Structure 1
Amino acid sequence: MPQETDKKEKTMAIIAYMTIVGLIIAFITNREKRVPLTSYHIRQSAGLAVTGLILSVVNIIPILGWIIAILGSFLLLYMWIAGLMNAMNAKQKPIPLLGEKYAKWFKGL
């Protein structure tokens, strides 16, 4: 039975990284029974979503904004892959660069 529970927790942590819809599904599913692994990856994924939103706003600025948005998008992709790999390995390891900040900023999730 514990392996099945661990598998469910790991699956929900992975789903948290699957677009904003996956983040919402993981958040709603994790609301009643707060599973530490899933909660951690929900916070990390929420941080990535907010970072992506900020990059979208920066993209409005001509030339410099475009450059920042393109470079930021590659960095965001790198962080997303790192977070997804951590979830697949059931690790509560912060994603590179901003992971520790995301854990602090979104500790209420």
Structure 2
Amino acid sequence: MNDTTKQGKNIAIVSYITIIGSFIAFSMNMDAKNDFAAFHIRQAFGLWISFFALGFLVGHANSIYASMALYLFFIILLLYGFTGALSGKKQPVPLLGKLFQKWLGFI
């Protein structure tokens, strides 16, 4: 694990702890501009935004099964990203991770 990864690891971990954690991690990374932390902030922020957007749509479906599937899908992807941050890896989350890196490049 290189120094950049070690320095950004705590910020990367914070980004997965609620959407508020993503905003806190974003503000913590403003001065340091750590590449590892920025990668995971984009992943976490993208997951949270996707969760709320899909949650809005699923909420209108009024189906408990659709809601449970959304929560399960989100928790699995969040844990995947969180374990990547813990282990010091820059692995995008399945399905949308590469798109988050492209769409949220301003972070």
Scaled to the shorter chain, the TM-score interval is 0.7 to 0.9
- Identity of matched residues, %: 28
Matched, 1:72 2:70: yes
Instruction: Report the number of matched residues.
Output: 106
Deviation (angstroms), 1:54? 1.0
Contact 1:10/1:37, CA 8 A, preserved across alignment: yes
Q: How does 1:25-44 map to 2 (within 5 A)?
A: 25-44=24-43
Aligned residue number for residue 11 of structure 1? 10
Shift >4 Å, 4+ stretches:
none
Unaligned 5+ runs, structure 2: none
1:81 to 79, 82, 86: 79
TM-score by length of 2: 0.87
Report the Cα distance in structure 1 between the residues aligned to 2:24 and 2:62, rounded to whole angstroms: 37
Aligned to 2:47: 48
TM-score normalised by length of structure 1: 0.86
Please, which of 86, 91, 94 is the counterpart of residue 93 of structure 1?
A: 91
Higher helix share: 2
* Aligned Cα root-mean-square deviation (Å): 1.8
Structure 1 pair 70–36 and aligned structure 2 pair: CA distance change class (3 A): same
Looking at structure 2, the residues matched to 101 and 72 of structure 1 have their Cα atoms a distance apart, in angstroms, of 19
